[in-house]
Amino acid sequence: MPPVPPATSVPLTDHVESLLDSGSPLPIVAAGDPVLRRPAEPFDGQLSGDLLARLVEAMRATMHAAPGVGLAAPQIGVPLRLAVLEDAAAVPDEVRLARGRVPLAFRVLVNPSYEAAGGRVAAFFEGCLSVPGYQAVTARHERVRLRGLDERGRVLDEEVAGWPARIVQHETDHLDGTLYLDRAEPRSLTTTQAAAARWADPTPERAARELRFTLPGTD
* Residue 51 Cα distances to 58, 97, 107, 180, angstroms: 10, 39, 17, 29
Task: Name beta bridge partners: 190.
Answer: 135
Q: How many angstroms from the chain centroid is the CA of residue 29?
A: 13
The catalytic residue positions are: 171
Closest Cα partner for 60 from 107, 118, 15? 107
What is the rounded distance in angstroms from the CA atom of residue 175 to the CA atom of residue 200? 29
